[in-house]
Each structure stands twice: as structure tokens, then as C-alpha cells.
Homo-oligomer: A and B are copies of this chain.
Amino acid sequence: MRRKRWRIKDIAKKAGVSTATVSRVLNGDPHVREETRLKVLKIVEEFKYVPNYMARSLRMERSSFIGIIIPRDSDSALTFPYFNIFLREFAHRAKERNYHVVFTTSEGDDMKTYEYFIGRRFVDGFVILDVVDGDERIKFLSGMDIPFLVIGRPQGLDGYTYVDSDNEGGAYEAVRFLIKLGHRRIFFINGPKTHSVSRQRLEGYKRALKNFGMEFEESLILNGDFKYDSGYTLTKEILKKFGKIEAIFYASDEMAIGGMKALEEKGLKAGKDVSVIGFDDIPLARSTTPPLTTVSQPINEIAKKAADIMMDILNGIEVHSIVFPTKLVVRNSTIAGGSA
């Protein structure tokens, strides 16, 4: 049977104080005599009183909820490879500070969903994932003066706060590693052109080439969708068109794994005949044959920091965007290249 729900009024009466005092104690107001505080706390404890947050939210005009909305169509949710982990760590960190995550999907019309959530006061602000350059959601939320935080660093927009990892630097390191290995023709199977991470990774790729005096060749760049299948298909395409291949850099581990399968079907082995590098360092990357060299992002830290910044934004604390370093994790999927 459900216990009786105590209201602040009940607790006040039992403690022999006003509701105002109970409220002050519960909210850590320092202007309460220690003796009073203890007395109230004792009753709160005894009756296991928990305040009703619906009432609190109404009065304080904030819900302490943060919205995370992902598109329902396709598997876009998963374009962000760490979505699971991000969501979990973000929610965990937010909870530590008494904020919580409301999760939903949008069906095509993103703006409507954002408006719906903010209009009804479901949430105080949003985290925006899986961003593209010139992202409409960012324009919309900026225009409406609704608090939000962007995961990623899209172009063609300004005045937004972001948390990002150093995609450019990660790609640079990967390609640099391949060049050092002696490779001269390095394919790059990137993500969709629209995604800002794709642009950033391409920039890293180009910078590495330039740094080592190599020419950029458009024909070596292909765009997949981060998924296994596109890695497989595009690698087949390359194999068919170019015949001999020495190195491929993939913008996701999933694509790299798909690519390794395509190679295998041609009797080629990553780490033996071809150099392969991925991006993300998903758990599976440790366990592929061969274990995959890849670029890792500190997803837990990103999620935690994102939560902290989001909450600071909601509390009017000044925030700064931040970029987390990426790291090349060297395993066994590359080989020394023949000299040019």
C-alpha cells in the first residue's frame, strides 16, 4: 500500500514552524537558526518527506529537466556512435546536480518538437546532438532565446556554446601515422558531407598531407554514412576502381570493419596487405581481426562536461566552449608502406 504523501504544511505543523521555514531548510537557505534547522530536518527524516517538484517547478518557473531530442527516422540516433554512453553519462552527471533528462524523438519537423517541449515547460533547455553545418535547430533555438548546448562544432552559425572533440586533430594524427608508415596514396572514407564532423576530419586529413608535402586528390575521398554497410560498399567500389590499395582511413570504426570485410573478400588482410585506421574506438575495435587502429574520443568526459555546461547555462553561469583532445590508439591494422 502506498504511504501517505506528506505536504510541506504537514511537516511545518509537526515541526512547529511555518512552511516558509521548512522550505528554507530544504533549500539550504543559510538564514535559518541551526536549532530550527535540526528540528525541521528531524521531522523531514522521520516522515520521509519529499517535496513535490511539480509544485516547486511551477513556483520557480523552471522544471530542472533537460531535453534530448533525436530524429526517429533512419538510424540517425546512431550516427553519433556513442549515443548510449553519452546519454547515460550525461543523465548521471545531471542527476548529481538535481537535473534530469527528458528524452524524445522528432518526426521530420524538429522545430515543432522543440517548441512543444519548451512551450509546455517540460524542459528548461536542450542538448543538440548530431549537428550539421548551418543546423536549423541552432538557428531556431538561438532566435527563440531558448537555452541549449551543442555537441559538435557546426559552421555557418555563431553565438552558440559547444562541447566537441578534436576531430581535426584526430584525423591529422591518423593520416600522419599512415604517412610515416610510408603510404603515399591514402583513401579516406568520410561521413556524410553535411555533418560538421566530416568537414573537420577532412580538414585534418588535408593538413597532414600538406604538412608532408603531399598532393590532395579529390578522387581518394568518399562519403559514407558511418555505418558498417557503407564502409563495405565503398571499399568494394575502391577496390574495383583502383585495384591496388595501400591505405584507407575510415571516419568510423563501423565503416572500417565493413571495409575490412570487403578487403577480406578480395583476399586482402588489414595489417598484412593494407593499412586500415578507424575512428571512434568502439568496444568492438579491440576485438576485430586484426585489432583496429583507431582514433578515440573521451566520451565519458565529454558527456560529463556537457552536463556541467548545460546546467551552468541554465543557472546563468558564464560558460566557455570546450574541445576535448582525441587520441590515436595504435593496434594491428596497419603495415609499413612501400616507398612511393
What residues of chain A have their CB less than 8 Å away from a CB belonging to chain B?
1-3, 50-55, 57-58, 63, 65, 70, 72, 77-78, 83-84, 87-88, 91-92, 95, 100-105, 107, 116, 119-122, 144-146, 228-229, 232, 258, 261, 264-265, 283-284, 287, 289
Contact = CB atoms under 8 A, between A and B. Distances in A.
Contact of A54 (B50, B58, B261): B58
A122 to B, nearest CB: 6
Contacts of A72: 88, 92
Given A54-B58, A120-B51, A121-B52, A100 B104 contact: yes
Nearest to A117: B100
A264 B269 CA distance: 14
Contacts of A101: 102-104
A104 B91 contact: yes
A318 to B, nearest CB: 20
Contacts of A54: 54, 57-58, 63, 121
29 contacts: A1-B145, A2-B146, A50-B116, A50-B120, A51-B120, A52-B58, A53-B120, A53-B122, A54-B54, A54-B58, A54-B121, A55-B58, A65-B102, A70-B88, A77-B84, A77-B88, A83-B84, A84-B84, A88-B105, A91-B103, A91-B104, A92-B104, A100-B103, A100-B104, A100-B122, A228-B283, A229-B287, A258-B287, A265-B289
